[in-house]
Amino acid sequence: MNPMNYQEAWSFLDLLQFHKIKLGLDSMNHFLGALDNPQHRVPCVHIGGTNGKGSVGSTLLSILSKAGYRVGLYTSPHLSSVRERFRINDEYISQEQFAEQASRIRDILDGGQITYFEFTTTLAMLWFAEQKVDLVLLEVGMGGRLDATNVVTPLVSVITNVSMDHEAYLGNTLREVAGEKAGIIKPSIPLVSAAGPDESREVIMNTCAQVKAPLYLLGRDFHALAANNDENSTWTYSGIDIDNKPWELKELPMALSGNYQLDNGAVALAVLQLLSSKNFTIKPEDIREGLQGVSWPGRLESFYKDEQGVISQEKPRDNKGTRHFLLDGAHNPAGVEALHDALEQSFTRNRLILVWGAMGDKNIHDTLATIAPLAHTIIFTQPESERSATPEHLRATLATDLQERAICIESVAEAIERAESSANDEDLICIAGSLYLVGAARSILRGELTDDE
């Protein structure tokens, strides 16, 4: 077959979305075997959990890059371009490299079926192996036990936390969901986790004991402590005691917004400790510089935009005519709780104008009940996805008194225009509820992340 160009490769991949989500590893192992098992040619860290996977991965990427390593990062979903899923240090996969690897996969498939996520996971493995990276940071797509990424034997495994999400696939109880997440735990491979003191932690502890996997828990084996009365939002990491050499790092910066990022930062540093015992050299200055430079677009991403379209991260001295935006992909109850807390604690404003869209298969009632009462105005919209709930359906989910604050605008671009025209210089426009919505909005407001060609 003739090699595909980038647009042809992306179109070919998009057609795979018509194949339903399929959890299971048999076809993935068979397919990777036909490609000479690229997943066995690069060391990796396997990152699972409900929320925080991307934050942990981006933190590890930033610090290890500062330490001089070539690190691959595979994440999902993307905001607007599929290339966002594949990075080596601060560079996304090029259009040419994407098309080259996609063509190779298509040819091996030879008309066979594969899911969208199996395709992108395979592409990541091929690219990282070909580029001979020093380490791959591999994010689980859904669950863990039967996820397409669970074909690796990592240096370190991570389960950030466990809360209810994807119940149709992972189970209707926290114990069932935790069992699926715990499926990435491998015999004798250390696990780092910030699981809370509930059934999920019990499941993780029992699984680690069964397969003799060393377990390192936040709050038991390592700790994160925010500095008190500190305008610079620094924090202290008290680390794992490895060979009587625990890490103790004080006055650490935290570039990501949200108090929960302390947990994610601590998990990342615990992983780095374990990697340092496996011949990775990480200096304290690498950690500080790396933490300062962490960026995770679309997750509590705050910025100001003036009338000329100029973007600034900090509030301008003369903010006349500016609009303050907050983009957050919160889409499950735990994520929306975190957004609620951040809005209450970290983002001062006159009024909150909420632009909200959601997938129809999510827990719409509970998430809106958490966030909607904070808003002065709610603009419901619909990102382009067959799974998206209609604005009218979202509005009908609200309590009667809150429906009076809500309007429905189907077009994301028009919803943003209405929010901007409704806001003043001291208001906050929060766009959230779905990564599909955040991706569409971010592209409109800031352009593509991968705009480098």
Terminal CA-to-CA distance of the chain, rounded, Å? Answer: 27
Question: Is 85 within 8 Å of 117 (Cβ atoms)?
Answer: no
Whether cis (ω within 30° of 0) applies to the bond prior to 77 is yes
Q: Residues in the chain, how many?
A: 453
The pLDDT score that the predictor gives to residue 386 is 62
Taking only the tens place, the pLDDT of each residue in 61-106 is 999 999 999 999 999 989 989 999 999 999 999 999 999 999 999 9
* Confidence check: pLDDT of 171 > 70: yes
Q: pLDDT higher for 436 or 70?
A: 70
Taking only the tens place, the pLDDT of each residue in 117-152 is 999 999 999 999 999 999 999 999 988 899 999 999
Across-strand partners of 305?
311, 323
Question: Is 205 within 8 Å of 218 (Cβ atoms)?
Answer: no
Cβ neighbour number for residue 297 with a 10 Å cutoff: 16
User: Could you give all domains of the chain from N- to C-terminal order, each with its CATH number?
Assistant: 6-292 (3.40.1190.10), 301-446 (3.90.190.20)
Taking only the tens place, the pLDDT of each residue in 152-163 is 999 999 999 998
The pLDDT score that the predictor gives to residue 8 is 95
Task: Give the DSSP H or E segment for 435.
Answer: helix 435-446
How far apart CA 205 and CA 198 sit, in angstroms, is 11
- State the pLDDT confidence band at 174, using cuts at 50, 70 and 90: very high
Residue type, 243: D
Residues 6+ apart with CB under 8 A from 44: 135, 136, 137, 138, 152, 154, 155
Q: pLDDT higher for 319 or 60?
A: 60
Instruction: Categorise residue 223: left if φ over 0, alpha if ψ from -120 to 50, beta otherwise.
Output: beta
Instruction: Categorise residue 243: left if φ over 0, alpha if ψ from -120 to 50, beta otherwise.
Output: left
The pLDDT score that the predictor gives to residue 453 is 41
Question: Is 116 within 8 Å of 11 (Cβ atoms)?
Answer: no
- CA 102 to mean position of chain CA atoms: 23
Average pLDDT over residues 415-426: 96
- State the pLDDT confidence band at 16, using cuts at 50, 70 and 90: confident
**% of the chain with per-residue pLDDT over 90:** 73
Taking only the tens place, the pLDDT of each residue in 246-298 is 899 999 998 888 888 999 999 999 999 999 999 999 999 999 999 999 988 99
How far apart CA 121 and CA 110 sit, in angstroms, is 18
Residue type, 91: E
How far apart CA 158 and CA 245 sit, in angstroms, is 22
Instruction: Categorise residue 447: left if φ over 0, alpha if ψ from -120 to 50, beta otherwise.
Output: left
Whole-Å CA distances, 426 to 216, 308, 319, 327: 44, 18, 9, 17
How many Cα neighbours within 13 Å face the side chain of 175? 3
Cβ neighbour number for residue 103 with a 10 Å cutoff: 18
Helix, strand, or coil here: 218? strand
- State the pLDDT confidence band at 312, using cuts at 50, 70 and 90: confident
